Structure formats: structure tokens, C-alpha cells
């Protein structure tokens, strides 16, 4: 009986040695495959940056845009469009002026937002500010300038795809907060066609999807610039912008983004006697 057990153990050990990889052999192929996938994703992103304008695009200090914007509800335009002037000083300052008279302005400085009208300056309500900050933190500029350089970021090549009726390469960027953005890059020009991200609403715990489609690219001061940007919210068109003019690195003054609250819109003015 003891001899039988000894022979059984010996056979098991021999079988294990026979199936084990030889010393010094490479580990499982899953690691090289993952590295190859990440390298392809990085190469595609580098091509996209180069197509947009390369290192000079990454170093853009400010941009000025003028055009017309349209809001949509259930894929139907809610107005004939509004003229706007948009000023951005990277990384986190923005001013948008609307109407022909440019008498309404929205100013964002860091994590603060303000609405300026003939009544004065008021802070933007929390929901609208959070919507803006979420879009900014998932913007194409933030993803290509900041996300991909963060420690621990993961890049994935998701394969060929179709975006805005164009053949594209699909790449996902996942940061250490488990937050991701998916980019669709034109297979011919390498320019970004579409960007998608999802987020969970803390009030109802539902997931929402936001998309942007970039179209009508034109060379502007050496940078390929989309003159048409369409935004979708949970599959429905929510906003569309058509640019008439774009200027880069004009040296915007910091004072354009200074704002201080002068009144509270939630407080009713005292009655006149």
C-alpha cells in the first residue's frame, strides 16, 4: 500500500514537471498581447494629436470662437439659434457671450461659474455648473492634454468602428478613478470624429451617455479645427455649434474671466412702499 502511494505521488510530480514551462521561458502570452494593444492605442492617439497640430496644439494657450449655437429637445431645435462669442484660456477659464448685443455672459474660472446680465452677476446654479464641469473634464483637450499623461492611465484599442458614417479606429482611455472616455479616430486623416463618455447620476443612480461629433475640419493657424460640433445626450441631439471664425493664442486678458457675485437671483427684491 505504501509502495502504491509512493508511485502515485511520483507520477503526479513527474506530470507537473512535464507540463510546467521551462526555466527562463516568457510568462503567459496575455501580458504581451495587452502591451501590444496599449501600444497600438497610444500610437493612434499620437497620430490624432499630430493630425490636430502636434506639440503646438498641445501647447495652445487660448482660443477665441464666434458662431451660432442651437439647443435641441427630443431632436427638435428649440430656437432659430443664438449668436455666441467663446473665449477659452487653458486649462480652466472660459467666457461665453450670447445675443447680438453680447449682453449676457457666462464666466467659468476654475470650479466656479457666474452668469452676468443687466441685473448684475450671480453664481450659476449647481446643476448647470456640474454639467459644465463634467463636460470640461471629459473634453477632447483635457483627455489628450492631461488624461493620457496621468500615472496609472490605461489605453485600449477597441478595434475598427464606424462613427458619423466614417470608418474609424476606436480607442478608450481609462484613468485611475475608473472614469473612461472613448475616442473614434478617422482611419484616413486620424482626426477625432467622435467622443463618448458615461457617468452615473447620484440622484437616481442612472447611467447617462454624452457624445460629441466633430465635423467640417479646416486648417486654422496651423491647427486642424472642427467648425461643426454636435452634442448628444442619451442618444438625443442636445446642442449644435457652427463656428464662423476661430483664433488661437491671441493673448486673452485674465480680467475677462474675473467675476464677483453682486446679487442672489433666489432672493426677491424688497417691495416698494
The per-residue pLDDT for range 206-242, each reduced to its tens digit, is 999 999 999 999 999 999 999 999 999 999 999 999 9
* 19 secondary structure, DSSP code: H
Residue 189 resides in a domain: yes
Give the tens place of pLDDT for each residue, 95-111. 999 988 999 999 999 99
- Answer yes or no: is pLDDT of 91 > 90: yes
pLDDT, tens only, 164-181: 999 999 999 999 999 999
pLDDT at 80: 79
Percent of the chain with pLDDT over 90: 78
126's CB contacts (< 8 A; 6+ apart) are none
Determine, yes or no, domain membership for 158: yes
Instruction: Report if residue 181 sits inside a domain.
Output: yes
Domain presence at residue 218 = yes
Q: Is the pLDDT of residue 25 over 70?
A: no
pLDDT of residue 247: 98
How do residues 33-65 score in pLDDT, each as one tens digit?
Answer: 989 999 999 999 999 999 999 999 999 999 999
The region of weakest confidence among 18-32, 148-162, 200-214 is 18-32
Ramachandran area for residue 222 (φ above 0: left; ψ -120 to 50: alpha; else beta): left
Determine, yes or no, domain membership for 133. yes
Phi, psi (rounded to 5 degrees) for 267: -105, 120
226 domain residue, yes or no: yes
CB 175 within 8 A of CB 153: yes
The verdict on residue 269 lying in a domain is no
For the residues of 96-162, what is the DSSP string, one character each? EEESTT--EEEEEETTEEEEEETTEEEEPPHHHHHHHHHHHHTSHHHHHHTGGGSTT-EEEEEEEEE
More confident residue, 266 or 122: 122
Q: Report the CATH number that the domain containing residue 229 is assigned in CATH.
A: 2.50.20.10
**Counted domains in the chain:** 1
User: Is it the case that residue 7 has pLDDT exceeding 60?
Assistant: no
* 39 part of a folded domain: yes
Q: Higher-confidence residue: 69 or 267? A: 69
Q: What is the largest CA-CA distance in the chain?
A: 111
Identify the domain containing residue 221 by its residue range. Answer: 31-257
- At residue 115's C-alpha, the angle toward residues 109 and 119, to 5°, is 140
Amino acid at each position: 500500500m505504501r509502495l502504491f502511494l509512493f508511485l502515485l505521488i511520483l507520477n503526479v510530480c513527474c506530470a507537473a514537471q512535464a507540463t510546467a514551462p521551462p526555466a527562463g521561458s516568457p510568462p503567459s502570452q496575455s501580458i504581451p498581447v495587452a502591451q501590444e494593444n496599449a501600444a497600438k492605442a497610444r500610437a493612434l492617439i499620437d497620430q490624432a494629436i499630430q493630425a490636430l497640430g502636434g506639440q503646438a496644439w498641445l501647447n495652445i494657450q487660448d482660443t477665441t470662437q464666434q458662431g451660432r449655437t442651437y439647443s435641441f429637445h427630443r431632436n427638435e431645435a428649440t430656437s432659430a439659434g443664438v449668436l455666441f462669442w467663446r473665449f477659452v484660456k487653458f486649462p480652466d477659464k472660459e467666457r461665453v457671450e450670447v445675443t447680438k448685443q453680447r449682453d449676457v455672459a457666462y464666466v467659468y474660472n476654475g470650479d466656479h461659474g457666474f452668469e452676468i446680465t443687466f441685473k448684475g452677476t450671480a453664481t450659476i446654479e449647481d446643476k448647470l455648473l456640474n454639467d459644465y464641469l463634467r463636460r470640461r473634464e471629459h473634453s477632447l483637450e483635457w483627455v489628450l492634454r492631461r488624461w493620457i499623461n496621468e500615472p496609472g492611465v490605461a489605453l485600449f484599442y477597441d478595434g475598427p468602428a464606424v462613427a458619423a458614417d466614417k470608418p474609424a479606429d476606436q480607442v478608450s482611455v481609462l484613468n485611475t478613478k475608473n472614469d473612461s472616455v472613448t475616442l473614434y479616430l478617422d482611419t484616413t486623416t486620424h482626426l477625432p470624429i467622435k467622443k463618448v463618455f458615461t457617468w452615473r447620476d447620484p440622484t437616481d443612480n442612472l447611467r447617462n451617455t454624452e457624445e460629441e461629433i466633430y465635423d467640417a475640419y479646416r486648417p486654422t493657424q496651423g491647427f486642424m479645427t472642427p467648425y461643426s460640433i454636435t452634442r448628444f445626450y442619451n442618444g438625443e441631439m442636445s446642442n449644435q455649434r457652427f463656428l464662423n471664425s476661430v483664433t488661437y493664442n491671441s493673448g486673452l486678458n485674465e480680467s475677462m474671466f474675473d467675476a464677483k457675485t453682486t446679487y442672489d437671483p433666489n432672493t426677491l427684491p424688497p417691495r416698494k412702499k
